[in-house]
Structure 1
Amino acid sequence: MEGRSTFTSSVVLGRRDDAGLELAARQLVEALGQHGHSKPVTLCLGLKEPSPAVVRELVAAVHADNVWGPAPAS
């Protein structure tokens, strides 16, 4: 498992019995990790309907607008 990162996520407020929210958080953290972000982060999501399509859009937005990772070399 060399070269692989391990991520931990937890629901602190809201519906703790919804596995979909935990999955959404994990996918977002993994997307951040793919862009080189390695520090702890707190994400707050206010989703009316946490559907798989919404989660895919959020992850795509993280990939498209990489404000989390290191600045690109000039």
Structure 2
Amino acid sequence: SERFDLAVPPLLRLLLIRLGEDRHRLVVTSHHVVMDGWSMAVLFNELSAVYAAGSDTSGLPRTLSYREYLAW
């Protein structure tokens, strides 16, 4: 229910709700400046991969800084 203020982090909010002993729901809220439909799919694919790997992030692709991306 809280609006995003671009001057105050975080601009991405994650809330994990326990529905039962083995059931959970992840609620993702973000400002559209941070994530669009394309990048949300990337986030969920990577979250799924990390979850399936038991929290091991070594299988994820190397990330670039925004500076590296701009230079590219």
Q: How high is the TM-score relative to the length of structure 1?
A: 0.33
**Could you say which structure has the larger radius of gyration?**
2
Higher relative contact order (CA 8 A, sep 6+): 1
